[in-house]
Structures are given as structure tokens and as C-alpha cells.
Amino acid sequence: MASKQTKQLLVVTMSTLAFTLCFAVWMMFAVIGIPIKDALKLNETQFGLLVAMPVLTGSLVRLPLGMLTDRFGGRIVFFALMLATVLPIYMIGEATTYWQFLVGGLFVGLAGGSFSVGIAYVAHWFPRNQQGFAMGIFGAGNAGAAVTKFVAPAIVVALGWAMVPKSFALAMLVMALSFWIFTYSDPAHSGGGKIDFREQLKVLRDPQVWKFCQYYSIVFGGYVGLALWMTKYYVDEYGFDLKLAALLAACFSLPGGVLRAIGGWLSDRYGAQKVTWWVLWVSWICLFILSYPQTEFTVKTVAGPKTFNIGLNPWVFTLLLFIIGVAWAFGKASVFKYIADEYPKNLGVVSGVVGMVGGLGGFVLPIMFGALVDLTGVRSSAFMLLYGVVWVSLSLAYFTEMRRSDAMHPHAPEPMHSK
């Protein structure tokens, strides 16, 4: 009989590996979408819609999956979800027309719903003072976006893009079976049908839940949007080939996933509020710099006209992306530490709501990125849009929390209490 510590270790390890693969599948079109775009002669907006389709389904199913997890437990829901995605993933490799890719992407997107299942499943195995770190480890599965960027280009070059989904389908089947063999059901997290769905949905009336949704729409929605968009951005903006572009894009995707555990630890130690506040500030500054487009201007001087070029070279650009990836890794963990602290009994459904809204941000953003490029011709308009979203989140955090917090007034006298 395995000890509780052994069970905890197996649950968090297998859940993280499973989520990593699910996220890699979810981000698959970020790489294979480029040769598909060339083959089908898609414009920027059509490409944005193509890469975003899996994100739509993966976002919409997060709420019902979170509710099912609270009701039946995470192990059985996670296992069934992975099995349900195997055939749709394989069929992407057989698609030939644009509409087939769009429809196939919708079914493949179910893999993205695994987050709201796994985050609640893992959290229930740990005491409250360790939940931030445990959920951070699980959330490091976001690094699946980087796994896709490392693995998929090599498969595309060697065997063609169609072998990417077929390989991922086989990997998903093996992972589902391994997950079932090496994990355990948590009796405290198996409601057995006793939880009322109407009671669960009452959290939708809580304005604090929607505030967490706003935060997550940038730290996760923005992460997904850029993870889908950056490979193509490097190809178009700097003229890199697919393998180098994917490698540099992974400099954003990888820290945005693997460092989430550190964000969970920081949130356990210093509080979710402080971590989220500083994440938003770092994002705001970096996105302001990234928003500046490649610019050429001429100045009339006493010696005649002189032309100047201002813009980010690829290495400074990649460094700024790396910093944002680190910040958003911490932010994704801090938002769910907020949720674990405030809603311990409704963790599945609240994480489902917040994950759904954050995921919908990841669906909308690539489409908006493409539309902005088609309308303005400025590729950095993607970062201008994200800058605006962060500004809204910063304002919301200040007026609802930070203005009255000790962090903003560390030396303020304590209020007088009437006797």
C-alpha cells in the first residue's frame, strides 16, 4: 500500500506530464499552421482563426469540466478526456481543406480543458500552505507550448507536417493509459454525484471571480496568444526559417511554463496579491517597449538630411519576451493561489470559470493580431493590444485592492478601534 506522500508525488508528476502533452497538442497549430497557411494560401486573419480554433473549445469546456471534476473527481475525468482526444488529433493529419482543419481544431481543443481538471485534482492532494507550490508544479505543464516548438519543427522537416498530429495522437493514448495506472482517486475529491450544479454556478455572481478572470486573461490568455503567434512573427518580421523561429519563440513559451512552480512558491510566501501586482507592472513596461514598430525617419540637419532607424533587433526582442514569459509564469500561479485561498470548496468550478475566460482570451487574441496586421500593416500592433489589456488589469488591481492595501501604505498608522 503506497504512503500518502508517494501518492502525492505520483499524482502531481503524472498530472503534470499529462497536462504538458495536452498543452503541446493544444498549441500544435502554432507550428504546423505555417506550412498549412502556405499550402492553402491563407491571409493573416484566416491564419489567426486557424491557430485559435483549438483554444476556443479548450476554453469553453473548462467550466463544465471543472464542475464534473468537483462532482466525480479528477482522475476519472482527466483519463476520459485524454482518451476522447486521440482520434480527433490523428484525423488532423488526414485533413486537406480549410474547413476540415477548423472543425478538427475544435475537437482537438478538448485537450486544453485538461487544466481545470488537473489543477483541482492536484490541489486536493495537498494542505493549504502547499497548494500554491503544488498547483505551480502542475501548471508548469504550460511548457508543452515549448515542447511543440522543439519537437514539431523537426518532425515537419523530416517527415512532413501531417506526421505531427499522428505522432501526438499515439503519445496521447500512451499517456492516458499511464496516467490511469500510476495515479489514485482522492476520496475527499469524489463527490459521487452529491454536489448540486446550481449551487456550483452561484459563484458566477461573485464579482471577485470576474476580477480574477481579467487578471488571467492577460497572464494566460496573453501567453497562449503569443505562444501561437510568435513563431510566425519571427518568420515574417526577421526572416528566420521555421526551426530557428520556433526555437526563439520557445524562449518565451518555456519560462512561461516551467517557472510557474516558482510563482506558486512566491505566492505561498508573499501572498498572491503582491505577486500579481508586480507581474502586471513588469508586463506593462516590457509591452510598452515591444509595441514600438520598426521605424525609419529622416531629419533635416545643417549637413543635409540624415536617416535614422529605430527598432528592436531580434536578440533584444527575445530578451523582452523572455522577461514577459517569466512574469506571466508567476502571474498564472498567483491567480490560482488567489482562487485556492478564497474558494477551497469550489476550486473546480471557479478554476473552470477563470480558465475559460483566460482561454477565450487566447482564442480571441490571435484573430485580433491577424486582423490588426491586415488593417494596419504593423506587426507590433499585437503588443499594442496586449499593452492596453495590461493597463486595464493594473487599473482594476489598484482601485479594488492595492490602494487600500499595506503594500501601498507600509508606514500608515493603524486605524483607531472604538471600544
In this structure, is the dihedral angle defined by the CA atoms of residues 226, 392, 262 and 58, taken in order, positive or negative?
negative
Q: What is the pLDDT of residue 381?
A: 92
Is the CB of residue 321 less than 8 Å from the CB of residue 39?
A: no
113, 361, 141, 333: which is closest to 253 by C-alpha? 141
Angstrom distance (rounded) from CA 417 to CA 419: 6
Angstrom distance (rounded) from CA 25 to CA 4: 31
Residues 6+ apart with CB under 8 A from 71: 191, 193, 194, 195, 197
Q: Residue 395, SS3? A: helix
Q: Residue 348, SS3? A: helix
Which triple of cell numbers denotes residue 161?
A: 507536417
Q: What is the pLDDT of residue 419?
A: 37
Is the CB of residue 166 less than 8 Å from the CB of residue 47?
A: no
β-sheet bridge partners, residue 364: none
Is the CB of residue 92 less than 8 Å from the CB of residue 41?
A: no
Q: Domain residues of the chain, as ranges?
A: 4-187+200-404
Which triple of cell numbers denotes residue 201?
A: 454556478
Angstrom distance (rounded) from CA 369 to CA 385: 8
- In this prediction, the residues of the chain whose per-residue pLDDT falls under 70 are 1, 187-201, 347-348, 403-419
What does the CA dihedral 321, 322, 323, 327 come to, rounded to 10 degrees?
100
Q: Residue 394, SS3? A: helix
Angstrom distance (rounded) from CA 251 to CA 234: 12
Helix then strand then coil, in percent of the chain rounded to 5, is: 80, 5, 15
Write out the DSSP string of 73-84. -HHHHHHHHHHH
β-sheet bridge partners, residue 295: 310
271: left (phi over 0), alpha (psi -120 to 50) or beta: left
146, 69, 82: which is closest to 110 by C-alpha? 82
Report phi then psi at 307, rounded to 5.
-105, 135
What angle do the packed helices 260-270 and 242-258 form, to 10 degrees?
30
147: left (phi over 0), alpha (psi -120 to 50) or beta: alpha
Encode 14-39 in three state secondary structure.
Answer: HHHHHHHHHHHHHCCHHHHHHHHHHH
Q: What is the pLDDT of residue 196?
A: 59
Angstrom distance (rounded) from CA 216 to CA 203: 17
- The pTM is what? 0.73
Q: Residue 228, SS3? A: helix
Report phi then psi at 405, rounded to 5.
-90, 165
Exposure pattern of 178-215 as b/e (b: 16+ CB <10 Å)? ebbeebeebeebbeeeebeeeebeebeeeeebebbbbb
| DSSP state letter for 195 | S
Q: What is the pLDDT of residue 190?
A: 52
Does 1.20.1250.20 match the CATH number of domain 4-187+200-404?
yes
Is the CB of residue 140 less than 8 Å from the CB of residue 252?
A: no
Q: What is the pLDDT of residue 124?
A: 83
Q: What is the pLDDT of residue 104?
A: 92
Is the CB of residue 66 less than 8 Å from the CB of residue 352?
A: yes
Q: What is the pLDDT of residue 197?
A: 62
275, 323, 346: which is closest to 69 by C-alpha? 346
